[in-house]
């Protein structure tokens, strides 16, 4: 059962990546982010890490800001997302 914060992260990622597709296979972008989060969940990570998995490309590939993630999901999640953000890569 998905908790409320994880569902909020799924909804947030879907909204932010709306209309985006992966360069590699043209799938909706959130197929990738959901896949990452599912791996983290199966591996037993805490909710904050799973949430960061859903959001891990939002800073890189959308107009989302660190402050926006921090305000909605907390400083720890924002720092996790920022830590895996590649600068200047674009939609992968």
How many domains does one find in the chain?
Answer: 1
The answer to whether residue 90 sits within a structural domain is no
CATH number at residue 17: 1.10.3210.10
Rg of the Cα atoms in the chain: 12
The predicted structure's pLDDT at residue 61 = 92
Q: Which of 15, 48, 57, 60 is catalytic?
A: 60
Rounded Cα gap, residues 54 and 11, in angstroms = 9
Query: Tens digits of per-residue pLDDT, 59-81?
Result: 999 999 999 999 999 999 999 99
Q: Which domain holds residue 62?
A: 4-74
Rounded Cα gap, residues 71 and 69, in angstroms = 5
Q: Which of 15, 41, 57, 61 is catalytic?
A: 61
Residue 47 falls in the annotated catalytic set = no
Residue 61 falls in the annotated catalytic set = yes
The answer to whether residue 54 sits within a structural domain is yes
Structure pTM? 0.89
The predicted structure's pLDDT at residue 86 = 81
Between residues 86 and 80, which one has the greater pLDDT?
80
The predicted structure's pLDDT at residue 92 = 43
């Amino acid at each position: 059962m998905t908790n409320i914060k994880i569902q909020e992260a799924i909804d947030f990622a879907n909204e932010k990546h709306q209309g985006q597709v992966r360069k590699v296979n043209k799938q909706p972008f959130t197929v990738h982010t959901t896949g990452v989060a599912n791996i983290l969940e199966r591996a037993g990570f805490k909710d904050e890490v799973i949430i960061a998995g859903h959001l891990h490309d939002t800073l890189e590939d959308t107009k989302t800001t660190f402050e926006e993630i921090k305000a909605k999901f907390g400083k720890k999640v924002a720092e996790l997302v920022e830590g895996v953000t590649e600068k200047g890569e674009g939609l992968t």
